Copies of this chain bind each other. A is one copy, B any other.
Amino acid sequence: MAGSAEPTNVQALIFDVFGTVVDWRTSLIDDLTAYAARRGIEGDWTALIDAWRQAYVPSMDAVRRNPQADFIILDDLHRRSLERLVDEFGIRGLTEDDLSYMVTGWHRLKPWPDVVPALTRLKTKYILSPLSNGNVGLLTRMAKNAGLPWDLILGGDVFGHYKPDPQTYLGAARLLNLPPEQVMMVAAHNNDLAAAQALGLKTAFIPRPTEYGPLQTLDFDATGDWTIVADDLAGVADRLGC
């Protein structure tokens, strides 16, 4: 059995969302390709979506480097990146409604097939929350669209910080009124778990080897000494006795 230790006394599970819970790439390719066909807009949507996601980390880093400024929520970072990219990709004729539809594509992402049944099992014993760089409004609308049975919603704008800033992991434990060791971070990204583990949280890794499609280079396997390593969220529920 993978994983170094049985978790003890965990009360709450907090989840990375983009990639771990939802398949952002396939969801957006399907959504925007169909939308563009209806609207008669031409473009390489797969390439645009891959570039959009590549803009994600640099856009959060820019917020992090300027802590005196107001925090910028992910919806707004998505919008700024998109405006630049449609220009770079030579996509023309987009209206304000088109841009708004595309940005809210991140509110309509579909979960991986194991997610809803496993969360439903885990919810019987644990407090469940996203801990995502998405903003609360984005995550709330995604949960309603996708039927994600969270108990509460924690996003970057609750803390005014993006992961992996410590304020996010420790802020989640604080709002849950739990010591970090009673909170388990669940993610398909080793770097997210490393940041959580360094602050005392428990960790669970599941691989999502198709998250980035042909561009995936990382996170095919667990690279750290995580509390649980499983094939998917059903395996996490198994290991936690749900």
Decide if B177 touches A137 in the complex (CB within 8 Å).
yes
A176: interface (CB < 8 Å): yes
Measured in the bound complex, the distance between the Cα atoms of B157 and A151 in whole Å is 17
**Residue from B144, B152, B157, B177 within 8 A of A153 (CB atoms):** B152
Report the separation of the CA atoms of residues A144 and B11 in the bound assembly, to the nearest whole angstrom: 13
B137–A178 touching, CB < 8 Å: yes
The answer to whether B151 touches A143, judged by C-beta atoms less than 8 angstroms apart, is yes
Q: How far is the CB of A153 from chain B (nearest CB, A)?
A: 4
Which residues of B have CB within 8 Å of A137?
175-178
Find out whether the CB atom of A175 lies under 8 angstroms from the CB atom of B136: yes
CA distance in complex: A205, B34 (Å): 44
A73 contacts B by Cβ under 8 Å: yes
**What residues of B have a CB within 8 angstroms of the CB of A174 in the complex?**
157
In the bound complex, residues from chain B placing their C-beta under 8 Å from that of A155 are 175
CB proximity to B under 8 Å, residues A130-153? 135-138, 140-141, 143-144, 150-153
Contacts of A157 in B (CB 8 A): 174-175
Partner pick for A140 among B138, B144, B151, CB 8 A cutoff: B151
Chain B residues with CB below 8 A from A73, complex form: 177
Q: Which residues of B contact A140 (CB under 8 A)?
A: 127, 151-152, 176
Contact of A136 among B75, B136, B138, B176 (CB under 8 A): B176
Give every chain B residue within 8 A of A158 (Cβ-Cβ).
Answer: 158, 175
8 smallest CB-CB distances across A and B, nearest first, come from: A137-B177, A152-B153, A136-B175, A137-B176, A140-B152, A140-B151, A127-B140, A152-B152
Extra pairs beyond A150-B151, A158-B158 (6, CB < 8 Å): A127-B141, A136-B152, A136-B175, A136-B177, A138-B177, A152-B153
* Chain A to chain B contacts (Cβ below 8 Å), 24 pairs: A75-B177, A127-B140, A127-B141, A127-B144, A135-B175, A135-B177, A136-B175, A136-B177, A137-B175, A137-B176, A137-B178, A140-B151, A140-B152, A140-B176, A143-B151, A150-B151, A150-B152, A152-B152, A152-B153, A153-B153, A157-B174, A157-B175, A158-B158, A158-B175
